[in-house]
Amino acid sequence: MRRGSQIIVMLLLLFSISAYSQQNINLPRVSQSASVSQRIGVTDITINYSRPGVNGRIIWGALVPYDDVWRAGANENTTIEFSTDVSVNGYKVPAGKYGLHMIPTESNWTIILNKDNAAWGSFFYEEANDQLRFTVKPETVDNQEWLAYTFQNPGTDNVTVVMHWEKIKIPFKVEVDLNKLVLDDIQRQLTSLPGFNWQAWNQAANYSYTNTDDLNRGLQWIDRSIGINRNVTNIYTKAVILDAMGKTEEADKLKSETFEKGTEAELNALGYQFLLAGKIDDALVLFKKNVELHPDSWNVWDSLGEGYMNKGDKKLAKENYSKALDMSPENQHARIEGVLKNLE
């Protein structure tokens, strides 16, 4: 190559490198990037966006025109991501990351979840890529200088997503089928290391019994637990599942086996397992049987009192706590007396 040609090539290369570097300079933005996340149940929701300010401008119908698709933020695409399938304002949406757009109007706004999540704002938006469109009514609120997304009133299976900028608030609800998600996740976990332990299968079956109507799956799981290590804990879990399925005779046999083989401590622990899960009647069956089997133990009377207290039966709670107080060691007196005072 001649020297003149070499110089031209080098100059072109240097120009290309310089131009590329300029495109990638990271400078502060007027509308800063932000990210907010919220977990509901086992589902993570994440919103990435940029925060424009009001700066004394007229926003709605001016800076942000009415009846046009708006990026619901600034700069790149505002995105919303769901780690599992969800429902958004009652519409089913698969797990994934979506471009979040809005169409402001003077009345109801259109909220858009678009499958293209990598666009620059709404300039390359195409309606054909929409996953979902729905409308919401904007709310008038106090002024918010910098656009913000927040999660309000989070519950175990739902949360309200809110976009707030200037004096407008746009809310929409995200919900999940928590029990289905948990059961499916448990099924997945049981194919890994937890699947080698009877405790994990028993825990799974207990969740199915105490939280869902999927008793058949719970029965399958508890049989796996018993197959690994038959003990009073998992045979009683099977008993209550069978009872709930209307198989009383089989359930009674397993309960008898539990009461015959279980120690005072084991039966008490089982009782609290159900008490903490909100199955108070199941807990009371165990606490009462433990009192019958171990009447000289102050602790079983104490547990039965707690069971009745959770049931809301103050009379029986006081009777059993009083019995426990008479039999208990001195270091328990202050606690039990305090409980009795609260029951008056």
pLDDT in tens, 86-123: 999 999 999 999 999 999 999 999 999 999 999 888 89
Percentage of the chain exceeding pLDDT 90: 87
- pLDDT of 1 strictly over 90: no
Poorest-confidence range of 28-42, 55-69, 123-137? Answer: 28-42
Residue 10: per-residue pLDDT: 41
Given a cut of 60, whether residue 8 has pLDDT beyond it is: no
pLDDT of residue 121: 83
The per-residue pLDDT for 24 is: 64
Note the pLDDT of residue 260: 95
Sequential DSSP letters for 232-296: HHHHHHHHHHHHHTT-HHHHHHHHHHHHHH--HHHHHHHHHHHHHTT-HHHHHHHHHHHHHH-TT
Which pLDDT belongs to residue 23? 56
| Beta strand extents in the chain (DSSP E only) | 32-40, 43-51, 79-82, 86-88, 91-93, 96-103, 109-114, 130-136, 139-152, 158-175
pTM of whole model > 0.85? no
Q: How does pLDDT run across 139-173, given as a tens digit for each residue? A: 999 999 999 999 999 999 999 999 999 999 999 99
Judge whether residue 5 has pLDDT over 80. Answer: no
Q: Is the pLDDT of residue 25 over 80?
A: no
Band the pLDDT of 212: cuts 50, 70, 90. Answer: confident
CA 328 to chain CA centroid, nearest Å: 41
Mean pLDDT of 274-303: 96
> Is the sign of the CA dihedral 120, 126, 131, 135 positive or negative?
positive
| Structural domains of the chain, ranges and CATH numbers in brackets | 32-176 (no CATH), 179-342 (1.25.40.10)
**pLDDT score at 20:** 45
CA distance 189 to 175: 23
Note the pLDDT of residue 21.
44
